[in-house]
Structure 1
Amino acid sequence: MGKHKLKNSKHRKYHDSIHAKHAPKKPFAAQQPPPKPTPRPQKSTKQPQHSRPEIPFEPHDRILLIGEGDFSFATSLLTHHGCADLTATCFDSAEELGRKYPQAAGHIAALEAAGMSMLYGVDATKLDKRKEIKRERWDRVVFNFPHVGGKTRDVNRQVRYNQELLVAFFRAALPLLVPDGTIIVTLFEGEPYTLWNIRDLARHVGLRVGRSFRFSADAYPGYKHARTLGNIEGDGGWKGEERPARTYVFEKAEEGGQTREPDGKKRRRDEDSDEDSDG
């Protein structure tokens, strides 16, 4: 009985080996191409269409505003940005201001009610002549849309007059700053304003552009651009706050092309490079 099982077992092994030898071979599976790598997402080079506008002020800053016109900008800083240490100045006397900008009365009332200071008859080129200004040190000295007015129709002379205004203003404002203070100037873009070469003017006085960015009037609710000559009837609804403009933030320049950080440390920068933002 045992021998029969053994014989059958050997027979089955032999039969299986012969069957495997002559069995039809399975075709090889077609080689599949390697999977294509997943493409990496491309970074968009487009700027965000609705980026947040830059505001170069903090609520705790001591701010001196020059050439305020109808005081709408000062009122917006107080009301919408919480800036409660403001001194707003204008070139005109109080009487002349009322004649040129009747709308100023409401802004003045709001500033007075909040305890803000207003000064009349302040020349941007002679800030040291006013003891209320000279005795203080300021975090921000601001001159929005400086312009000498319509002295001449000759473009070259007009450019020169405005360059002289800016240089004299820079020289008058620089000694008034705290160590890490800044001077902020906003100009319309395009000619003739680009002909003023504001960066070079500031460099000659001992300042450099720390950064610049697009000015957004919408960031200052209630602000309306006031012309140097005052309101003009029949001007076709001209709104200066809708024109493209740029804000320049000037820092004190140190010797050797260095600027000083708020913590007192020095850093070296290329004097012709600044952080430009279109936000």
Structure 2
Amino acid sequence: MYGVDATTMASHPTLKSLAFDRILFNFPYALIPKNGKDQLWRHQSLVRGYLKTAKEMICENGEVHITQRTDGGFDAWRIEFIASQLGLELEEAVDFKICDYPGYTPKWGMGNEDGHFPSKTYKFRLPHPHSNISQCREVAATYRSTDTAIVWTAPLELGVENGITIHDEDYEVSTNLLEAIGLEQKENTSRSSNYCANHNLEQCEMGQEMDGGVVAEEKWVNHYSSSHKMLLVGEGDFSFSTSLATAFGSAHNMIATSLDSEKFASENYSEAISNMEELKRTGCMMIFGVDATRMAHHPSLIGLVFDRIIFNFPYAVISKNDSRQDILWRHQSLVRRFLRTAKQMIHENSEVHITHRTDGFYSSWRIKFIANQLGLELIEAVDFNISDYPGYNAKSGTGSDANFEWCPSKTYKFRHPHPESASCSADPEMILNLSEHSEESWSEESETVELDQENISSPTSSYFPNHYLQEEKWAKHYSSCHEILLVGEGDFSFSASLAAAFGSAANMTATSLDSEEFLKSNYCLATVHLKELKRRGCKVIHGVDATSMANHPYLIGSTFDRIIFNFPHSGIFKSQGHRRISQIRHQALVREFLGNAKQLLGENGEIHITHKSNGFHLQWNIVSLAIEQGLELADSVDFDVSDYPGYSNKYGFGGDRTFDFLPSKSYMFRHPGTLHIPWDC
């Protein structure tokens, strides 16, 4: 087989659902761009991507093998550590002898002509009960003729010299193409070949430096230690990160992120360049284009856990036309989504810190209440003093080099609930106090913060109002508390109908296969609906194929409570071919959609397909297709277009005419064993 990517092979059409006894990758090596930047990270990313997908393809007693050199800088790849992070157990590591494989010649400069170089074959497996992932066991190494195996012997080309710029309505993110397609996964403990080659695994894991072979003394800056694995979110000019790095004498334990591109930060913050140079010198890993509300699914952060995650002065981008209540909702939404994704990136004893102003308008954000709703508990809230962090300058937001008036402020520290802690269910007294305080904060007399809507922005912002803290609203089967993905939209009238019913579209992601230009040219009301959706905070994505959407850069790793595809159609009509061919193509579309939607479905989520329920359309056998994909039917109900005012179903593919949708049903599918109940806000 040709054209198989080692980092995504589990999703390859020919390999999907297959399981093997042995999967082999000999001498993995990522293609390096001309400037040679981030060589170690690229190699580690290749190994991590391969192991992650190979793990899905092995039998219960199967093994994943990687043969790799052990001399020079190759030991810095830390293959065993990467496998351990992914939940694989090292069976053993044995010396590789090329003479055991007559006729085999490693390619691409992996050794001299005689193949004489020190190498080992690392054998990984799924953890056995009561086993220790870090323990190496002495077992015989053989490839049996009865083993089913995949063997990779050619280096995979991952790197590219050119970058890609992703444009969003509220910001521009510059990132490497690898990150955009979900291949670049850099470890927070990996900084450079020289660094990791001279540090053993234990020190790398702790993030502490070695000095002459001795672990450096632990250093503290207020709440933060040089031994903490730290993720800093929403950095502006990177002055907070630099302050910590200076105090620690090193930044090897830190990953500092920004929503902005490196170019944007350099051009708009006077101290950004010097701060970034200092962070690079001290070993910090910096990642640009990281959205604080989706960071757990960022290709460079996915699967990583931290001791401390820090977000100083979160502030959402707002629209000039927003009401004061809209502004509050947007800020609360940013905090909620940050906490929700940060919660996935901390372990039992980790902490998530938010530093935030405590006066006037800011006190109405109800950060403690939001965290409580998400199942986090407050450890403490301590007064913030900027003098504890020499050199730190809190900024007003993206593009503004003006300092932010931070006083008075507190640092709120949250963690997973400990067994001895009280339940994280909301305390009625707490809710009452917060409600009273919120009303007081919004009164004209107590408002102490002047809101300059032209200048208010955030170093990491998300453009969504907080649908969680509003009164829950329903439109038939759909709630304003559901995270909703709409697929295959035509003129976006269905999305617009839901948004109007909810009063907000902050909980919605609406997608179309067609481009925005095509839609505006072919659907007379598309422009109106798109404008309204964006005004209400909906995330709109064009060019999304329903049959491969789980791997779309903007959707990969996301989960939804409801995924909706109304009247799916493959684009072939009766006059274009035999009826049986038409049926097969329609069924293929539905089958592939369900397979992708299943990957994006939350724990108690549902996939809804609305479809005509007479004649030819019954032959699609949608329920059977769903069962094939491992889903079960939760319900099927008659569809009534009057339940969705303003919705106008379209033929699709540029046809602005409606079609006769009667009779139709909405089929609701779910993971087996989940409850079909309304969403609980």
TM-score by length of 1: 0.68
Q: CA RMSD in A?
A: 2.2
Counting only pairs closer than 5 Å after superposition, residues 161-200 of structure 1 correspond to structure 2 as 161-200=330-369
Tell me the amino acid that sits aligned with residue 241 of structure 2.
Answer: A
C-alpha distance in structure 2 between counterparts of 1:136 and 1:82, whole Å: 24
| Structure 1 counterpart of 2:408, from 231, 244, 269 | 244
| Structure 2 counterpart of 1:64, from 221, 226, 231 | 231
Report how many aligned residue pairs link the two structures: 205
How far apart are 1:151 and its partner, in Å? 2.7
1:123-166 CA deviation, whole Å, 9 max, x = no partner?
00111332221231100111000001343453211110011111
CA 1:222–1:241: 2 relative to 1, 3 Å: farther
C-alpha distance in structure 1 between counterparts of 2:229 and 2:283, whole Å: 14
- Tell whether the 8 Å contact from 1:72 to 1:224 is kept in structure 2 after alignment: yes
1:172-219 CA deviation, whole Å, 9 max, x = no partner?
110110221110000012121111101110011111111011001000
Tell me the amino acid that sits aligned with residue 412 of structure 2.
Answer: Y
Counting only pairs closer than 5 Å after superposition, residues 142-221 of structure 1 correspond to structure 2 as 142-152=310-320, 154-221=323-390
Tell me the amino acid that sits aligned with residue 410 of structure 2.
Answer: R
Tell me the amino acid that sits aligned with residue 294 of structure 2.
Answer: K
C-alpha distance in structure 2 between counterparts of 1:242 and 1:207, whole Å: 25
Larger gyration radius, structure 1 or structure 2 = 1
Counting only pairs closer than 5 Å after superposition, residues 45-194 of structure 1 correspond to structure 2 as 55-82=222-249, 84=251, 85-152=253-320, 154-194=323-363
C-alpha distance in structure 1 between counterparts of 2:324 and 2:296, whole Å: 30
| Structure 2 counterpart of 1:268, from 421, 429, 436 | 421
Runs of 4+ with >6 A deviation = none
C-alpha distance in structure 2 between counterparts of 1:206 and 1:87, whole Å: 25
Task: Single out whichever of 105-114 and 81-90 deviates more from structure 2.
Answer: 81-90
- Tell whether the 8 Å contact from 1:211 to 1:249 is kept in structure 2 after alignment: yes
How far apart are 1:83 and its partner, in Å? 6.1
How far apart are 1:226 and its partner, in Å? 1.3
How far apart are 1:269 and its partner, in Å? 4.2
Q: Indicate the percent of aligned positions where both proteins have the same amino acid.
A: 29
- Tell whether the 8 Å contact from 2:307 to 2:346 is kept in structure 1 after alignment: yes
1:64-100 CA deviation, whole Å, 9 max, x = no partner?
0000110000000111245630000001111211222
Tell me the amino acid that sits aligned with residue 102 of structure 1.
Answer: S
CA 1:116–1:170: 2 relative to 1, 3 Å: same
- Tell whether the 8 Å contact from 1:61 to 1:83 is kept in structure 2 after alignment: no
SS at match of 1:194: helix
Tell me the amino acid that sits aligned with residue 199 of structure 1.
Answer: K
- Tell whether the 8 Å contact from 1:91 to 1:121 is kept in structure 2 after alignment: yes
- Tell whether the 8 Å contact from 1:224 to 1:241 is kept in structure 2 after alignment: no
How far apart are 1:56 and its partner, in Å? 1.7
C-alpha distance in structure 1 between counterparts of 2:406 and 2:335, whole Å: 23
- Tell whether the 8 Å contact from 2:381 to 2:412 is kept in structure 1 after alignment: yes
C-alpha distance in structure 2 between counterparts of 1:162 and 1:128, whole Å: 20
C-alpha distance in structure 1 between counterparts of 2:379 and 2:225, whole Å: 17
SS at match of 1:136: coil
CA 1:242–1:142: 2 relative to 1, 3 Å: closer
How far apart are 1:239 and its partner, in Å? 4.0
- Tell whether the 8 Å contact from 2:250 to 2:282 is kept in structure 1 after alignment: no
C-alpha distance in structure 1 between counterparts of 2:343 and 2:420, whole Å: 20
C-alpha distance in structure 2 between counterparts of 1:194 and 1:66, whole Å: 21
C-alpha distance in structure 1 between counterparts of 2:334 and 2:390, whole Å: 29
SS at match of 1:112: helix
Where do 5+ consecutive residues of structure 2 fail to align? 1-220, 430-681
CA 1:239–1:98: 2 relative to 1, 3 Å: closer
- Tell whether the 8 Å contact from 2:231 to 2:255 is kept in structure 1 after alignment: yes
C-alpha distance in structure 1 between counterparts of 2:423 and 2:346, whole Å: 23
Match for residue 70 of structure 2? none
- Tell whether the 8 Å contact from 1:70 to 1:103 is kept in structure 2 after alignment: yes
- Tell whether the 8 Å contact from 1:147 to 1:162 is kept in structure 2 after alignment: yes
TM-score by length of 2: 0.29
**Per chain length, whose mean CA-contact separation is higher, i.e. which structure has more relative contact order (CA < 8 Å, sep 6+)?**
1
Tell me the amino acid that sits aligned with residue 249 of structure 1.
Answer: K
C-alpha distance in structure 2 between counterparts of 1:242 and 1:123, whole Å: 23
C-alpha distance in structure 1 between counterparts of 2:249 and 2:317, whole Å: 32
Match for residue 84 of structure 2? none
- Tell whether the 8 Å contact from 1:217 to 1:241 is kept in structure 2 after alignment: no
Tell me the amino acid that sits aligned with residue 71 of structure 1.
Answer: F
C-alpha distance in structure 1 between counterparts of 2:248 and 2:387, whole Å: 13
C-alpha distance in structure 1 between counterparts of 2:407 and 2:249, whole Å: 26
How far apart are 1:240 and its partner, in Å? 2.5
C-alpha distance in structure 1 between counterparts of 2:383 and 2:324, whole Å: 25
- Tell whether the 8 Å contact from 1:65 to 1:141 is kept in structure 2 after alignment: yes
Where do 5+ consecutive residues of structure 1 fail to align? 1-53, 233-237, 254-258, 260-265, 274-279
CA 1:248–1:98: 2 relative to 1, 3 Å: same
C-alpha distance in structure 2 between counterparts of 1:132 and 1:138, whole Å: 14
